[in-house]
Amino acid sequence: MSYLQNSTYALPEQQLRQQAFVARVYGWMAGGLALTALVSAYVASSRTLIEAIFTNRLIFYGLLGAELILVFGLSAAVSRLTPTIALAGFLLYAALNGVTLSAIFLIYTAQSLASTFFISAAMFGCMAVFGSVTKRDLTGVGSFMMMGLIGVIIASVVNIFLHSEAVYWITSYFGVFIFIGLTAYDAQKIKRIGANATSSEDTGRASVMGALALYLDFINMFLFLLRIFGRRRD
- Residue 208 located in a structural domain: yes
120 φψ region: left (φ > 0), alpha (ψ -120 to 50), beta (else): alpha
- Residue 75 located in a structural domain: yes
Between helices 165-196 and 139-162, what is the axis angle to 10°?
A: 150
**pLDDT exceeds 50 at position 226:** yes
- Tell me what pLDDT residue 2 has: 39
Q: How many domains does the chain have?
A: 1
- Residue 44 located in a structural domain: yes
- Residue 2 located in a structural domain: no
- Residue 3 located in a structural domain: no
- Residue 234 located in a structural domain: no
Distance CA 212, CA 25 (A): 9
- Tell me what pLDDT residue 3 has: 38
**H or E segment at 91?**
helix 83-101
- Residue 209 located in a structural domain: yes
Q: Average pLDDT for residues 99-115, to the nearest whole number?
A: 94
> Mean pLDDT for the chain?
91
Model pLDDT for residues 118-174, shown as the tens digit of each residue: 999 999 999 999 999 999 999 999 999 999 999 999 999 999 999 999 999 999 999
- Tell me what pLDDT residue 102 has: 95
Domain range spanning residue 28?
14-229
Q: Average pLDDT for residues 176-185, to the nearest whole number?
A: 97
- Residue 8 located in a structural domain: no
Between helices 165-196 and 200-229, what is the axis angle to 10°?
A: 160
- Tell me what pLDDT residue 59 has: 94
Model pLDDT for residues 58-90, shown as the tens digit of each residue: 999 999 999 999 999 998 888 888 999 999 999
Q: Average pLDDT for residues 214-232, to the nearest whole number?
A: 96
Distance CA 148, CA 153 (A): 9
Distance CA 142, CA 119 (A): 22
Task: Name the percent of the chain lying above pLDDT 90.
Answer: 80
Model pLDDT for residues 187-203, shown as the tens digit of each residue: 999 998 887 766 677 88
- Tell me what pLDDT residue 96 has: 96
